[in-house]
Structure 1
Amino acid sequence: MEKLNNANIRSIVPLITPDDLKEEYPISEALTKQILTHRNEVRNILEKKDDRMLAIVGPCSIHDTVAALDYAQRLAELRERYKDRLCIIMRVYFEKPRTALGWRGLILDPDMDDSYKLEKGLRQARKLLLEINNLGLPTGSEILDPIVPQYISDLISWAAIGARTTESQTHRELTSGLSMPVGFKNGTDGSMDVAINGIHSAHHPHSFIGIDGKGQTCVLSTEGNKTGHPILRGGKRGPNYYEEIIEDTEELLIKEGLLPVVMIDCSHENSGKKYFRQERVMNSIMDQRSKGRDSIVGFMLESNIHEGKQCIPEDKSQLSYGVSITDACISFETTAKILDSAYKVLDK
């Protein structure tokens, strides 16, 4: 007889609970205080109580935890060097939304072979976040799967809702309960409406189905997250980091009763998906800041140890060290040069 339920389910495998994973990889009291401090720094910049700029910098995605920690150690030095004018946060993305098919990130598929060893991926992700935060370097990540935050969100100081999910009611509800500041990217078509609607929605309380630390299905009721802000990443109609577009975005935000602050993603459609154009976007951002446009409170750079990207080979030992396997990135050398230039502009 044909199955009534689970007709297309191949298997159901129990997963470690969030509490059990946190017991394996616990957060110390000192690190808890540090992350709370980092989150408050971000809030103060978003509320213009702190005139530094947020710099969300790091790989398009994490696939090699050794290389990621190597990168983090280098970035931690720059954070310390530029801390009076830049608040540098490492981009640590473990999940990748796909337009069609493709590798879905370290948590879902840590071995990059469609084996989907999620428990291994969750362990690697939490361990890496602890290691990076222990360097004194805050982390930022995209929130994609609605269950994953229970496992790792205590180690994240800033989060993003991506262009493909910014219109999702599930992600708006989820954001309303997250404990860190969250940016909403404009839609893939370039529309700001979906981002601003997402920010509005997340400001308010919601109730939705989720899990608690023990893995028990629950109704989660939230207070609302007041730290939502737009991230301009360009769209099908082209880049949106130009001065007149930022002016229009400021007006939209003010009209909706929101703080007129924006973050600009130097990659994606703002760079035409050409990684080397990120520097061009940064030059425009810093030129606008130097002319007094302080509504631009932050920027994002896709950066790795080495520039470019590579395909995933069948033999994983053939992967080049420190090179992206998703979007192409600028090198760390170029990143350091860009951050140094931004730092000097902010001194003027």
Structure 2
Amino acid sequence: MNLTTTQHSQSTSDLRVSEFRPLPAPAGLMAELPLSEDLAATVSSGRDAIRAVLDGVDDRLLVIVGPCSIHDPEAGLDYARRLAEAAREHSQDLLVVLRAYFEKPRTTVGWKGLINDPHLDGSHDIAGGLFAARRFLIAAGELGLPVATEFLEPISPQYVADLVSWGAIGARTTESQVHRQLVSGLSMPVGFKNGTDGSLQIALDACAAASAPQSFLGIDGEGRASMVGTSGNPDTHLILRGGSSGPNYDAGHVAAASASLAAKGLNPRLIVDASHANSGKDHHRQAKVALELAAQIESGTDSAHRIAGVMLESFLVGGAQAHDSTNPGPLTYGQSITDACMDWDTSAGILEVLASAARRRRPARESSN
């Protein structure tokens, strides 16, 4: 009887699984690449500063900027060094956070990001990818930059979240219960993007769900399957990224979104993504959207004060290049292999304009108080 049951169980399990590769436990990787006391202070102060901007206590503009995805850590750190200098230059007006995305959602198939395929060749060395991502976050943090990332699935945060100051949940996963539960236990502010169709409701529901205590399946620091209980994340917020219905970054959309948030008892201040559907993924159009946002911010209207931050996709070289992991070839240094990005010179100019807009927004707020 037992033999028959065992044979039956074996014949119905994992029929489409080609392999299992054990990964190091999160605690093991964190011990190998530890968070120093100074770096912990950088991460914590970054989280506090971001929280203060989102809550309107700090009147600077939050700018989350960097490559669409990190595929070459060397080029990514080259970019980060330039950004760190710009962040110091504009520190009175902007809170600059490095965008460092290691996981990429795919509509069908394609390269899934540094964690999933660090060698860009389809070998899917996830253990190596986790190591590369953590090493990059440490190096970027040591430059004094707070770092932002998108959390695409529920396992990898155990390996890297202690180094992250701001997180995002993308339009494809905002409606996911798994991601809402995950955010409820994350230690940093996290933004939810509106749906790919432009709908706000799923993001409003996500913010509310993630701010509440949750219990769900996860792993602990030793990699053991566990029941995870959370207290809820009070620092959730909305990201406007446009949708199939069109862009949603103009003053009317911002005001309406802010009112919807307030009606739900959520933070009425929000972030606007100048890329994705707000620019049609056109990096030239993204620069124009950023300039239009700057004009909106410096106008000092009520909707202008509802914009806590902006998101920009930017790399050393503008545009994007094709990459095929089944037939990899030489790549242009510092150019995206996912969405097209603004080049560094354009990005530096946009940062100057946004800093000026944030500076000019202050007198309007002071005169209204």
Query: How does the TM-score come out when normalised to structure 1?
Result: 0.98
Provide the residue aligned with 1:336 in structure 2: 348
8 Å CA contact retained: 2:121, 2:328 = no
What displacement does 1:316 show?
A: 4.4
Gaps of 5+ in 1: none
What displacement does 1:284 show?
A: 2.0
Distance in 1 between residues matched to 2:357 and 2:53, nearest whole Å? 17
What displacement does 1:83 show?
A: 0.7
1:177-196 per-residue CA deviation (whole Å, 9 max, x = no partner) reads 00000000000000000111
Aligned-partner residue type, residue 310 of structure 1: Q
8 Å CA contact retained: 1:285, 1:296 = no
Aligned-partner residue type, residue 203 of structure 1: S
Provide the residue aligned with 2:95 in structure 1: 87
1:221 aligned to 225, 229, 246, which one?
Answer: 229
Distance in 2 between residues matched to 1:283 and 1:68, nearest whole Å? 25
Instruction: Indicate whether 1:248 and 2:280 are aligned.
Output: no
Instruction: Indicate whether 1:27 and 2:28 are aligned.
Output: no
What displacement does 1:91 show?
A: 0.4
Alignment of 1:179-258 (within 5 A): 179-258=187-266
Provide the residue aligned with 2:5 in structure 1: none
Distance in 2 between residues matched to 1:198 and 1:275, nearest whole Å? 29
Instruction: Indicate whether 1:306 and 2:314 are aligned.
Output: no
Q: Return the index of the structure with the highest Cα Rg.
A: 2
8 Å CA contact retained: 2:217, 2:225 = yes
8 Å CA contact retained: 1:79, 1:86 = yes
What displacement does 1:29 show?
A: 1.0
Aligned-partner residue type, residue 319 of structure 2: G
Distance in 1 between residues matched to 2:42 and 2:342, nearest whole Å? 29
1:128 aligned to 107, 124, 136, which one?
Answer: 136
Distance in 2 between residues matched to 1:53 and 1:182, nearest whole Å? 16
1:128-184 per-residue CA deviation (whole Å, 9 max, x = no partner) reads 000000000110000011000000000000000000000000000000000000000
Gaps of 5+ in 2: 1-7, 361-369
Distance in 1 between residues matched to 2:108 and 2:305, nearest whole Å? 38
What displacement does 1:317 show?
A: 5.5
Q: How many residues align?
A: 348
What displacement does 1:345 show?
A: 2.1
- Aligned alpha-carbon RMSD (Å): 1.1
Provide the residue aligned with 1:73 in structure 2: 81
Query: How does the TM-score come out when normalised to structure 2?
Result: 0.93
Distance in 2 between residues matched to 1:345 and 1:233, nearest whole Å? 21
Q: Identity percentage over the alignment?
A: 46
1:83-127 per-residue CA deviation (whole Å, 9 max, x = no partner) reads 111000000000001111111000001111221100010000000
Aligned-partner residue type, residue 37 of structure 1: S
Instruction: Indicate whether 1:323 and 2:331 are aligned.
Output: no
What displacement does 1:225 show?
A: 0.2
8 Å CA contact retained: 1:59, 1:329 = yes
